[in-house]
Amino acid sequence: MNTANNARSQNTEKLLKETYNRLIGRHPGRNVNIVELCTRAGVNRATFYAHFSGIEELQRTIESDMASEVIHILRNPELGDTIMTEGKMKMVLEAIKKNRPFYTAWYKSSRDEGPSLIDGFILSSKKSNYSFIVCKAGVNALIKNWLAKDCSTDTATLASVIIRFSSSVPEFNS
């Protein structure tokens, strides 16, 4: 029996996610359909639907996985308190670079914010003043540009730029 927690089921979900990311990596901004995804993954549509209700659920699951990775970095007690440092930012950028197909497609879509990425800088969701909104948009623009240029700037340099840029906004550093 193929239950959600067994290795076979987990491997199939991983395969579907990886295949989806490869497809969007080749054609960012293009919608991936279930038939193409299943063909490339070597599974039938019934198998896909045993794991996800549709492409949108697969996308949300991948987004959640990516956001969880970044949030883990930001909230890791071994990396210090909640203040964003260049070291933490470098780790976040390395996670983005590692998952570049996903983030490239995300930023090329009509969405204008990263998936919980910038919000993760702030542990409280009550901060929404104008300077934060402008800074958030600026950081997203920097990351989008970096991805568009195939992450050609090293993560340490970009982390330094982002930290300097955001240092004037107290919400990014509290």
Tens digits of residue pLDDT in 139-160: 888 999 999 899 999 999 999 9
Q: In whole angstroms, what separates CA 130 from the centre of its chain?
A: 24
Domain range enclosing 123: 63-173
- Structural domains in the chain (count): 2
Residue 33 lies in a domain: yes
Kindly state whether residues 77 and 134 are assigned to the same domain.
Answer: yes
Kindly state whether residues 70 and 22 are assigned to the same domain.
Answer: no
Q: Which of 33, 52, 71 is the last residue of a domain?
A: 52
Predicted confidence at residue 174, as pLDDT, reads 53
Residue 119 lies in a domain: yes
Kindly state whether residues 94 and 26 are assigned to the same domain.
Answer: no
* Burial of residue 2, with CB atoms counted within 10 A of its CB: 0-12 exposed, 13-18 middle, 19 or more buried: exposed
Kindly state whether residues 87 and 163 are assigned to the same domain.
Answer: yes
pTM of structure: 0.75
Kindly state whether residues 77 and 161 are assigned to the same domain.
Answer: yes
Residue 58 lies in a domain: no
Kindly state whether residues 100 and 139 are assigned to the same domain.
Answer: yes
Kindly state whether residues 70 and 5 are assigned to the same domain.
Answer: no
Round the average pLDDT of the chain to a whole number and report it.
81
pLDDT digits (tens, 9 = 90+) for 9-60: 899 999 999 999 889 877 766 688 999 999 999 999 999 999 999 998 998 8
Kindly state whether residues 75 and 161 are assigned to the same domain.
Answer: yes
Kind and range of the H or E element at 83? none
User: What is the rounded distance in angstroms from the CA atom of residue 81 to the CA atom of residue 83?
Assistant: 6
Predicted confidence at residue 125, as pLDDT, reads 40
Predicted confidence at residue 127, as pLDDT, reads 52
Residue 57 lies in a domain: no
Predicted confidence at residue 54, as pLDDT, reads 94
Give the CA-trace dihedral at 31, 37, 40, 44, to 10 degrees. -160
- Residue in this structure with the two tokens 């195939």, named with its chain if needed: 150
- Residue in this structure with the two tokens 């639907």, named with its chain if needed: 49
pLDDT digits (tens, 9 = 90+) for 84-130: 788 889 999 999 999 888 888 877 775 555 544 555 554 444 455 77
